[in-house]
Amino acid sequence: MERAVARIDFDAIRANCARLKAELGKDSELCAVVKADGYGHGADACAGAALAGGASWLAVATAVEAEAVGRRYRHVPLLTLGALTQEEVDIVLAASSELSVWHEGFREMLSARASAQGSSARVHVKYDSGMGRLGNPDPEHLLALARACDADPNLELAGVWTHFATADEPESAFFDEQLERFERVAAAVKQEFPSVLVHAANSAAVFRERRSHFDLARCGVAIYGLDPFQGDPRERGLAPALSLRSYVADVKRFAAGASAGYGQRWSAPQDTWVGVIPLGYGDGVRRALSNNGEVLVRGHRRPLVGTVSMDNITVDLGPETDVESGDEAVLIGSQGEDEIRAEEVARRLETINYEVTCAISARVPRRALAG
């Protein structure tokens, strides 16, 4: 028994990638996005499982992530998605990662840094088709930038790409609008530079629209078996890879009216048993789950009662209980016949599954599911 542990099912990650690969068809490659420590699952081992499942590219957001992943998977094409300072550019180039470019000024700086390192940088020009975040929103500028990259001896034009704002909203017409804008820009770039990789799709887009697949799909959330639409991942053939487990450290009798936790936010409505589980918001169990969560113990849902502390939570076990100190407690994942999915926790917190798994802190060891 461990105080708190995230069990990662790498076979599930492998199978999820095979599932995505099948959805993509033979002409599109799968890029596994392992930013933010693999959405909290552990980037290093998840990247390995994703590659075993058919991914042929990796992507990260930051320079530090590129350094770690690039060192470990030296021969796998790696794309750093995010904005980078000059210092970060040096790190990313040393990691042999490909980079994103959307301004002429950044292209010049990048060219100079690549030249200084004696390397050439592979770049993906980014079009802002409507996300309104990173990327160049002007098709003419983007084409000019692609030409400048191609003409630069320190750079190699490798791709043209964009990112969707509403792929996970099935009713959104804006998705189609972005896709149409991007199709025009990508076609213009591809006509002049036929070898560029065209990419746009995230996980939701892969399931939503075949036309968005292009040469490469950048999938994050789905490779971890989290549903991009916040529904049931199994309905899309995805298997959740992460469970968050702890144990019951103490079981104590509460007389009616006795309170649990900071601020006395819960008192026993009747004589009852309360289980104390030694993890809390210091582990990423969000405080907003106070009096608003459930934990599986002995295969049954137990309401989380009182305030989530940094290191402890309490659950109501009821007036009669067979729960004992040392019993396993599951905050995310299955036990017996029941399962608490990250999507359910996200709904309680009015957020998305991405944030739930990313929030699991570094204090929680990530371990491979045994067997």
Ligand X SMILES: *Cc1c(COP(=O)(O)O)cnc(C)c1O
Residue with tokens 């980078």: 84
Cβ proximity to ligand X: between 33 and 260 the closer is 33
Three-state DSSP state, 216: strand
Catalytic member of 21, 26, 35, 39:
35
| Cα–Cα distances in angstroms (integers) from residue 12 to residues 79, 144, 168, 222, 336, in the given order | 24, 43, 22, 11, 19
Q: Which residue has the tokens 């301004």?
A: 103
> Judged by CB, which is closer to ligand X: 7, or 208?
208
Rounded CA-CA distance 222/79 in Å is 18
Q: How far is the CB of 89 from ligand X (least distance, A)?
A: 18
Task: Identify the helix (H) or strand (E) that includes residue 22.
Answer: helix 10-24
Q: Which is nearer to ligand X, 237 or 278 (CB)?
A: 237
Binding site for ligand X (CB under 6 A): 33, 35, 81, 163, 202-204, 218-222, 228
User: How many residues are listed for the chain in this entry?
Assistant: 371
* CA-to-CA dists, residue 286 to 100, 227, 246, 310, angstroms: 34, 20, 15, 9
Residue among 227, 220, 194, 211 at smallest CA distance from 345: 227
Nearer Cβ to ligand X, position 168 or 294?
168
Closest approach of ligand X to the CB of residue 348, in Å: 21
The distance of closest approach from Cβ of residue 131 to ligand X in the complex, given in angstroms and rounded to an integer, is: 8
Say how far apart CA 371 and CA 369 lie, in whole Å. 7
Which amino acid makes up residue 232? D
- Spot the catalytic one: 73, 190, 252, 262: 262
Least Å distance between CB 235 and ligand X? 17
C-beta of residue 58 within 8 angstroms of C-beta of residue 77: yes
Contact 100, 71 (CB under 8 A): no
Q: Note if 262 is an active site residue.
A: yes
Report yes or no: 248 and 285 within 8 Å, Cβ to Cβ.
no
Q: Is 35 a catalytic residue?
A: yes
Which residue lies nearer to ligand X by CB, 226 or 317? 226
Nearest CB to ligand X, comparing residues 35 and 41: 35
CB-side exposure of 334: number of CA atoms within 13 Å? Answer: 9
Closest approach, Cβ 72 to ligand X, in A, equals: 20
If one counts every other C-beta atom within 10 angstroms of the C-beta of residue 67, the result is 18
Nearer to ligand X, 242 or 251 (CB): 242
What residue is closest to ligand X based on CB? 220
How far, in Å, CA of 134 to CA of 158, rounded? Answer: 18
- CB-CB neighbours of 56 under 10 Å: 14
Instruction: Show the tokens assigned to 361.
Output: 């802190």
In whole angstroms, the minimum distance from the beta carbon of 35 to ligand X comes to 6
Nearest distance, CB of residue 350 and ligand X, angstroms: 19
Judge whether 91 and 63 are in contact, CB under 8 Å. yes
The catalytic residue positions are 35, 262
